[in-house]
Chains A and B, each alone.
Chain A
Amino acid sequence: MNSIIAFAIVTAIILGSMGFGVLAVRKIKMTPQELVVGNRSFATILLCVLFAGETVTSFTFLGASGWAYSRGAPAFYILGYFPATLIVLFLLGPTIWRRGRESNFLTNADYFASMYQSRVLGLLVAICGVFFLVLYLTVQLTGIQILLEIAGYGSVQIGSTGTIAFVLIVIFVFFSGLRGVAWVSIVKDVLVLGAILFAGIVIPVHFFGSPVNLFAKLREAHPDWLTLRSNLLPNGTVWFVSTVLVNAVGLVCWPHGVAAIYSARDEASIRRNAMLLPFYLMILVLVFLAGFSALLLMPGLKGDDVDQSFMRVVQTHYPAWVLGGVAGAGCLAALVPGSALILAAGSLIAKNIVGIFSKSFVERHQTAVTRVSVIAVALFAFVSWATARSTLVSMLLVAASGAAQFFPGMLLAFFDRRPSASSIAAGLIGSLLFLCWTTAVKLPVIAGVNVGLVAMALNFAVVGLASAPSQRLVE
Chain B
Amino acid sequence: MSPAKRFNIFTILFTGIPLFAVSFGICFANRDEPILFGFPFLLSYLIFWACMTPVCLWLADRSARR
A: residues with CB less than 8 A from B are 73, 76, 79-84, 86-88, 90-91, 94-95, 210-216, 219, 226-228, 230, 237, 240-241, 244-245, 248, 271, 274-276, 278-279, 281-282, 285, 288, 414
Bound complex: CA A82 to CA B51 (Å) = 11
Chain B 1-53 residues near chain A, CB threshold 8 A: 3, 6-7, 11, 15, 18-19, 22-24, 26-27, 30-32, 35, 37-40, 42-43, 46-47, 49-51, 53
Q: Is the interface of A mostly helix, strand, loop or mixed?
A: helix
B6 CB → nearest A CB, Å:
8
Nearest 7 CB-CB pairs, A to B?
Answer: A212-B38, A226-B40, A83-B53, A215-B38, A80-B22, A79-B46, A275-B54
* Across-interface contacts of A212 in B (CB, < 8 A): 37-38
* Across-interface contacts of B38 in A (CB, < 8 A): 210-216
Q: Is A241 in contact with B26, judged by CB distance below 8 angstroms?
A: yes
Q: Is B26 in contact with A86, judged by CB distance below 8 angstroms?
A: no
Q: Is A275 in contact with B58, judged by CB distance below 8 angstroms?
A: yes
Partner pick for A95 among B3, B15, B23, B58, CB 8 A cutoff: B3
Partner pick for A73 among B35, B42, B47, CB 8 A cutoff: B42
Q: Is B15 in contact with A91, judged by CB distance below 8 angstroms?
A: yes
Q: Is A81 in contact with B22, judged by CB distance below 8 angstroms?
A: yes
Give 29 A-B contacts (CB < 8 Å), ordered by A residue.
A73-B42, A79-B50, A80-B26, A80-B46, A83-B53, A87-B18, A87-B53, A90-B60, A91-B7, A95-B3, A210-B38, A213-B38, A219-B32, A226-B40, A227-B30, A227-B40, A227-B42, A228-B42, A237-B26, A237-B30, A241-B24, A244-B22, A248-B19, A271-B57, A271-B61, A276-B54, A278-B51, A281-B50, A285-B47
Bound complex: CA A244 to CA B22 (Å) = 8
A205 CB → nearest B CB, Å:
13
Q: Is B57 in contact with A274, judged by CB distance below 8 angstroms?
A: yes
Bound complex: CA A171 to CA B40 (Å) = 46
B30 CB → nearest A CB, Å:
5
In this complex, which of A87, A216, A248 has the most chain B Cβ atoms within 10 angstroms of its Cβ?
A87
Bound complex: CA A213 to CA B37 (Å) = 10
Q: Is B23 in contact with A84, judged by CB distance below 8 angstroms?
A: yes
Q: Is A84 in contact with B51, judged by CB distance below 8 angstroms?
A: no
Q: Is A226 in contact with B57, judged by CB distance below 8 angstroms?
A: no
Residue of B nearest to A91 (CB): B15
Bound complex: CA A316 to CA B31 (Å) = 34
Residue of A nearest to B26 (CB): A240
Q: Is B24 in contact with A84, judged by CB distance below 8 angstroms?
A: no
Partner pick for A83 among B3, B7, B22, B42, CB 8 A cutoff: B22
